[in-house]
């Protein structure tokens, strides 16, 4: 099938996902029941961003001009999907679909319902695509692999997939650099970067860098935008546990009703905790963070704008590795 036909199929998918079809509403509720982190609010947000940034016809066509898809000699490509936020594996599937390869997809147990429904809908509308995407429990005899997981699982992926062309992704997170001149609107937007999806995404800000003598009052006010998350039982359990840890350890921290700010050198923080560190030289800090392999994106003036961390475009590839170039080059 031609790229234009596939783009048309994806645009139709976007229209469906942005609508109020009864089947879709039932599936969203089932996804929430299966995974309590996938609240209706965050499922809808994920769908909204996918439709806006990934399934827009003009964006798709402009993005595809940079690649020679579809390939003339398709391979079976195994994709091990993550499941930390709703439909997080969608972009990998989309790249596989548009590249022309035969996608063999292993879904995360945390995000089976939504991804399976998306694939089933495309097959229902376009039977010609029936064989291009198959969901499998085991990915054997593929010509290439894309796998996303933890640092621990990545070691196994490296071992099993070493002799094949592959992209292996590990734990990543995001940070923000504040200079103290941020407006209330920018700090309000930063709250989105920190709190959306309960902070579970690799694009969520889990640490901020602030100048010495920084006043946290305005930031805390912005974070109160998500005070409602404290009513979510899974999030509240994490909050109570982590607050107990910092109190017992006598760690330097600021406890708000819905989040704990803790001084720490680590860029990774637990759910309900936002790490912070002080800096003296913003320029040198920025250069240092740009080469930090643990980071997916940096938020701040001169970097990713506040509030945009969880709105990646088609060309914002995980780990900075161009998935489409990898696939079209096989």
Exposure on the CB side of residue 138, measured as CA atoms within 13 A: 2
pLDDT digits (tens, 9 = 90+) for 95-112: 999 999 999 999 999 999
* pLDDT value of position 70: 84
Structure tokens belonging to residue 258: 């819905």
Q: What is the pLDDT of residue 72?
A: 86
Residue 287 in this model has a pLDDT that exceeds 90? yes
pLDDT at 295: 97
Cα(145)–Cα(80) distance, rounded to whole angstroms?
A: 8
pLDDT at res. 291: 96
Report which secondary-structure segment, H or E, holds 77: strand 76-80
Please state the rounded mean pLDDT for residues 272-286: 97
- pTM for the structure as a whole: 0.95
* 1 pLDDT above the threshold of 90: no
Please tell me the predicted confidence (pLDDT) of residue 68.
84
Helix axes 3-17, 113-125, angle to 10 degrees: 130
Lowest mean pLDDT across 35-44, 126-135, 199-208, 215-224: 126-135
3-class SS of residue 298: strand
Residue 179: helix, strand or coil by DSSP? coil
Q: In this predicted model, what pLDDT tens digit does every residue of 76-91 receive, in sequence order?
A: 999 999 999 999 999 9
Angle formed at CA 200 by CA 196 and CA 202, multiple of 5 degrees: 100
**Banded pLDDT at 231 (limits 50, 70, 90):** very high
Lowest-confidence region among 4-18, 60-74, 168-182, 244-258: 60-74
Sign, Cα dihedral of 12, 13, 15, 19: positive
149 alpha-carbon distance from chain centroid: 12
| Residue 232 confidence class, pLDDT cut points 50, 70, 90 | very high
pLDDT tier for residue 248 given thresholds of 50, 70 and 90 = very high
In the predicted model, is pLDDT for residue 69 greater than 90? no
| Helix axes 113-125 and 22-34, enclosed angle (nearest 10) | 150
**Residues linked to residue 262 through DSSP beta bridges, in sequence order:** 253, 275
Q: Of all residues in the chain, what percent carry a pLDDT higher than 70?
A: 99
**Mean per-residue pLDDT over the chain, rounded:** 96
153: phi then psi, degrees, rounded to nearest 5: -65, -30
């Amino acid at each position: 099938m031609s790229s234009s036909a596939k783009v048309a199929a994806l645009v139709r998918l976007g229209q469906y996902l942005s609508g109020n079809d009864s089947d879709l509403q039932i599936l969203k509720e089932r996804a929430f029941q299966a995974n309590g982190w996938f609240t209706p609010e965050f499922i809808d947000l994920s769908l909204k961003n996918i439709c806006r940034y990934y399934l827009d016809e003009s964006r798709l066509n402009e993005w595809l001009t940079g690649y020679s898809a579809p390939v003339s000699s398709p391979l079976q490509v195994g994709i091990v999907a993550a499941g930390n936020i709703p439909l997080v594996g969608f972009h990998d599937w989309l790249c596989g679909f548009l590249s022309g390869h035969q996608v063999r997809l292993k879904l995360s147990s945390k995000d089976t319902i939504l991804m399976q429904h998306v694939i089933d809908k495309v097959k229902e509308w376009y039977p010609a695509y029936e064989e291009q995407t198959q969901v499998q429990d085991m990915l054997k005899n593929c010509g290439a692999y894309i796998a996303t997981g933890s640092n621990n699982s990545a070691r196994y992926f490296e071992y099993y997939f070493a002799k094949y062309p592959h992209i292996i992704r590990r734990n990543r997170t995001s940070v923000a650099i504040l200079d103290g001149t941020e407006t209330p609107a920018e700090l309000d937007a930063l709250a989105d970067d920190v709190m959306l999806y309960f902070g579970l995404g690799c694009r969520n800000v889990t640490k901020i860098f602030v100048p010495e003598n920084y006043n946290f009052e305005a930031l805390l006010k912005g974070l109160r935008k998500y005070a409602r998350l404290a009513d979510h039982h899974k999030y509240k359990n994490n909050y109570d546990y982590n607050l107990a840890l910092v109190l017992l350890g006598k760690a330097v921290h600021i406890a708000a009703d819905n989040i704990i700010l803790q001084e720490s050198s680590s860029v990774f923080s637990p759910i309900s905790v936002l790490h912070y560190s002080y800096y003296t030289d913003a320029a040198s800090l920025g250069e240092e963070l740009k080469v930090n392999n643990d980071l997916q994106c940096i938020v701040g003036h001169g970097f990713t704008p506040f509030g945009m961390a969880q709105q990646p475009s088609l060309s914002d590839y995980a780990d900075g590795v161009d998935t489409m170039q990898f696939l079209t080059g096989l």
